[in-house]
Amino acid sequence: MGERGQRKRLVGTVIGNRMDKTAVILVERLVRHVAYKKFVRRRAKYLAHDAGNVCGVGDKVRIVECRPLSKRKRWQVIDVVEKGQAG
């Protein structure tokens, strides 16, 4: 009855962590061009809730969709997949 649907999960790189409890995540994906059949790199930036401020710039993290937390923040950091070189 109160079942929640499947939430989207993405893996991306942290490119900003200056805000308190928020990280900026860059997600890259490859998409095949319709006419030229070449793979094109598409990028998207997401603001994600990072409750413990554990993300560092360069870290690879897994994020999941959640309820709106602010104007642009609709994702939440689940875990750090691998630590980045910086820091």
Give the count of domains, the chain: 1
4 inside domain: no
| Domain hosting residue 58, numbered range | 9-82
- Domain assignment of residue 43, yes or no: yes
Q: What is the pLDDT of residue 87?
A: 54
Is the pTM higher than 0.85? The answer reads yes
The whole-number pLDDT of residue 86 equals 63
Q: Is 62 exposed, middle or buried (0-12, 13-18, 19+ CB in 10 A)?
A: middle
Flag whether 77 is in a domain.
yes
Q: Does 2 reside within a domain?
A: no
Residue 16 lies in a domain: yes
- Which CATH number does the domain housing residue 59 bear? 2.40.50.140
Domain assignment present for 1: no
Q: Per residue in 9-44, pLDDT tens?
A: 999 999 999 999 999 999 999 999 999 999 999 999
In a domain, 62, yes or no: yes
